[in-house]
C-alpha cells in the first residue's frame, strides 16, 4: 500500500452570472487587510468584478458592444482594463464602475496588460497585429461636481507602437515583466520579447503549436520567498500544444522548465510555493494538477462542462480560479484550514 497521502479534496465554489464562455480571468494584487479581487472577461460583453476570496459578485462593467476577451486589474486595484471585439479597450473605475477611458482601435482587441507596478500605462494588442502603449497620464476624465464622469477617448495615433511590423498574426497575450523595460507578446506559435526604450524586438521563440495561454504568475511580497519557484521573482507560464513552458528572472527570459504532457493544454497556472502546476486539458473539461519537481499527476478536478480557457492563482496562493467555455468560474482551495467560504477540511497529514 502506498504511503503517499491522497490529495486534498475540497468542493470548489462556482461563480455564476455570465451567459457566455469565460475566456480570461485574473486577480488583483493583495491589498491591506488581505483583501483582493477577481475580474473575469466574458463573450457576453459584460466583465465582472468579484471578491477574490469568496467569489461574491461586486459589480458588472456595462458598455462593451462585443465579446470581452481579456480583463485585468491595475496594480493599485483602482482601475480595470478590458479588451473587446468591439474594437476598443476600456478602462473602468473599480469603485464606482464608471467608464474612464475608451482606447479606440481599428480591429478586435484581444490582449491588454498593465505594467507590473504602475497603473497609469496600458499595453494593447489584437487583430491589428500591433503592440501599442497608451499613457493614461496625458488626459484625465472630467468629472462634474457630484455628476457623472465624462470618459476620455484616446485614438491609436496617440499611442506608442512597439516593434512595428514584427507581428505576423493576431496578438493574443501581452505580459509586462518585472523589469518595466521588457514586454512579452504571444502571437500564433511565437513568443517575442520587446525592449521598450528602443521599441525593438530583442528575442523571438517559436513553440510547438499555437499559444493558448501566456500569463505572469507572482505572489504578494509578504508571501513570496527565495525558496519559491523562480526564487521569489514572477514566472511566465505558457501553454502551447501539449507542453507547459516556464520562464523566470527579472526579464522573464531564463527558461526554468518545460513539461511535455500526454494531452493538449488550453491553459496553465502555477503554484509557486506549493511546487505544482494546473492545466486545462484540451480537448476536455478537466483541470489536471501536476508536480513541478517530477511532472507526476497529483490530482484531477472535474466539474466544468467545457474547456478551461484560463487559470489564475490568488496573490496569496491559497486558491486558484478556472474560467470555462461553460460560462462559469470555479474557485479551488489550495491551503489547509479555514479560508474564504471554506471551513476546515482534511489536510495532507490527515488532521483538520
Q: What is the pLDDT of residues 13-54, one digit of tens each?
A: 999 999 999 999 999 999 878 899 999 999 999 999 999 999
Domain for residue 327, yes or no?
yes
What confidence score (pLDDT) does residue 74 get? 97
Q: What is the pLDDT of residues 78-127, one digit of tens each?
A: 999 999 999 999 999 999 999 999 999 999 999 999 999 899 999 999 99
Are residues 22 and 29 in contact, defined by beta-carbon separation less than 8 angstroms? no
What confidence score (pLDDT) does residue 92 get? 98
> Is the pLDDT score of 144 beyond 90?
no
Domain for residue 340, yes or no?
no
Domain for residue 350, yes or no?
no
Query: Nearest Cα to 312, choosing from 112, 43, 40?
Result: 40
> Is the pLDDT score of 351 beyond 90?
no
Domain for residue 130, yes or no?
yes
pTM (2 d.p.) = 0.92
Domain range for residue 291?
Answer: 13-333
Q: 9-18, 62-71, 185-194 — which is least confidently predicted?
A: 9-18
What confidence score (pLDDT) does residue 245 get? 98
Q: What is the pLDDT of residues 294-320, one digit of tens each?
A: 999 999 999 999 999 999 999 999 999
Domain for residue 342, yes or no?
no
> What span, in angstroms and rounded, lies between the C-alpha atoms of 201 and 77?
30
DSSP letter for 28, please: P
Domain for residue 352, yes or no?
no
* CATH number of residue 71's parent domain: 2.130.10.10
Are residues 193 and 202 in contact, defined by beta-carbon separation less than 8 angstroms? yes
Domain for residue 5, yes or no?
no
* Residue 102: HSE in the Cβ half-sphere, 13 Å Cα cutoff: 16
Domain for residue 339, yes or no?
no
Query: Nearest Cα to 110, choosing from 132, 138, 134?
Result: 132
Are residues 41 and 24 in contact, defined by beta-carbon separation less than 8 angstroms? yes
Number of domains in the chain: 1
Are residues 237 and 269 in contact, defined by beta-carbon separation less than 8 angstroms? yes
pLDDT, averaged across the chain: 93
Give residue 9's pLDDT band: very low, low, confident or very high (50, 70, 90): low
Amino acid at each position: 500500500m502506498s504511503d503517499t497521502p491522497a490529495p486534498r479534496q475540497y468542493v470548489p465554489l462556482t461563480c455564476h452570472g455570465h451567459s457566455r464562455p469565460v475566456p480570461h480571468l485574473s486577480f488583483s494584487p493583495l491589498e491591506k487587510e488581505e483583501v483582493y479581487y477577481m475580474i473575469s472577461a466574458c463573450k457576453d460583453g459584460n466583465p465582472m468584478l468579484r471578491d477574490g476570496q469568496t467569489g461574491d459578485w461586486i459589480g458588472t462593467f456595462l458598455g462593451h458592444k462585443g465579446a470581452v476577451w481579456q480583463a485585468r486589474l491595475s496594480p493599485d486595484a483602482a482601475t480595470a482594463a478590458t479588451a473587446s471585439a468591439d474594437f476598443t479597450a476600456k478602462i473602468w473605475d473599480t469603485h464606482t464602475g464608471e467608464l474612464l477611458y475608451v482606447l479606440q482601435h481599428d480591429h478586435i482587441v484581444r490582449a491588454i496588460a498593465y505594467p507590473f507596478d504602475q497603473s497609469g500605462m496600458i499595453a494593447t494588442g489584437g487583430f491589428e497585429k500591433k503592440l501599442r502603449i497608451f499613457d493614461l497620464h496625458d488626459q484625465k476624465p472630467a468629472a462634474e461636481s457630484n455628476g457623472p464622469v465624462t470618459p476620455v477617448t484616446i485614438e491609436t495615433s496617440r499611442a506608442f507602437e512597439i516593434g512595428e511590423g514584427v507581428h505576423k498574426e493576431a496578438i493574443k497575450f501581452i505580459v509586462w515583466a518585472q523589469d518595466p523595460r521588457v514586454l512579452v507578446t504571444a502571437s500564433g506559435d511565437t513568443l517575442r520579447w520587446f525592449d521598450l526604450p528602443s521599441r525593438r524586438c530583442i528575442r523571438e521563440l517559436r513553440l510547438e503549436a499555437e499559444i493558448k495561454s501566456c500569463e505572469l504568475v507572482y505572489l504578494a511580497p509578504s508571501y513570496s520567498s527565495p525558496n519559491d519557484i523562480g526564487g521569489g521573482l514572477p514566472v511566465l507560464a505558457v501553454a502551447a500544444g501539449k507542453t507547459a513552458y516556464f520562464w523566470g528572472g527579472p526579464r522573464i527570459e531564463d527558461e526554468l522548465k518545460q513539461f511535455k504532457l500526454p494531452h493538449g493544454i488550453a491553459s496553465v497556472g502555477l503554484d509557486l510555493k506549493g511546487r505544482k502546476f494546473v492545466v486545462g486539458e484540451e480537448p476536455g473539461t478537466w483541470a489536471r494538477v501536476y508536480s513541478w519537481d517530477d511532472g507526476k499527476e497529483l490530482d484531477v478536478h472535474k466539474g466544468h462542462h467545457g474547456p478551461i480557457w484560463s487559470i489564475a492563482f490568488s496573490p496569496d496562493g491559497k486558491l486558484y480560479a478556472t474560467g470555462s467555455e461553460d460560462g462559469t468560474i470555479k474557485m479551488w482551495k489550495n491551503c489547509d484550514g479555514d479560508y474564504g467560504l471554506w471551513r476546515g477540511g482534511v489536510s495532507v497529514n490527515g488532521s483538520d
